[in-house]
Copies of this chain bind each other. A is one copy, B any other.
């Protein structure tokens, strides 16, 4: 059954998946998300509509699948930070991998615009980023002082940090990329953590 999906199978599957996502993003960037049908994506990728839905649960996933992987990369980076480092500093360093893995910075603005243009897409984007909390909170929880509610506190902190990242992204988009994303992020964090 689902015992050993075979390592080679998994790999080809991952490659196809990535190819499909790439094709989709291409079309979304050209024509816009709403104006692109799933059939068009399937046709452009040379695959049947049905097969496409074998790789992605929804059309939205085609545009947002990258976010889950980004979350894992951030988590990996976070796990490598020194144990006694301040949680906010650790999170900031972990987030910075985004600058490294983000494909071609030139069309980054275009992609982010697309993501924020559509209501349900923006919601899905925020939700996927919020899901990063599930990956990151367990990693910073041990850094917090012992307490019965430490797990919850960890989730609150990670959630707030992600919110700062989102606010920064929104502002970065509004300024059309004229300010560095992480400068905005720092401003946001300072704003919420400084009294008055």
A→B interface (CB under 8 Å): 86-87, 119-120, 122-124, 126-127, 130, 144-145, 149, 152-157, 159-160, 162-164, 166-168, 170-171, 184, 187-189, 191-193, 195-196
Contacts and interface: CB of A to CB of B under 8 A. Distances in A.
Copies in the complex: 2
A28 B119 CA distance: 22
Contacts of A196: 86-87, 144-145
Given A86-B196, A160-B164, A188 B126 contact: no
Nearest to A191: B153
Contacts of A144: 191, 196
Contacts of A195: 86, 193
Q: Which 7 A-B pairs have the closest CB atoms?
A: A123-B127, A156-B188, A153-B191, A123-B123, A160-B192, A163-B163, A156-B167
A195 B191 CA distance: 14
Contacts of A166: 159
Given A156-B191, A156-B192, A163-B163, A126 B130 contact: yes
Given A122-B127, A159-B166, 8 more contacts: A86-B195, A87-B196, A126-B130, A144-B196, A152-B191, A156-B163, A159-B167, A160-B163
A83 B191 CA distance: 18
A187 B156 contact: yes
A119 B128 CA distance: 10
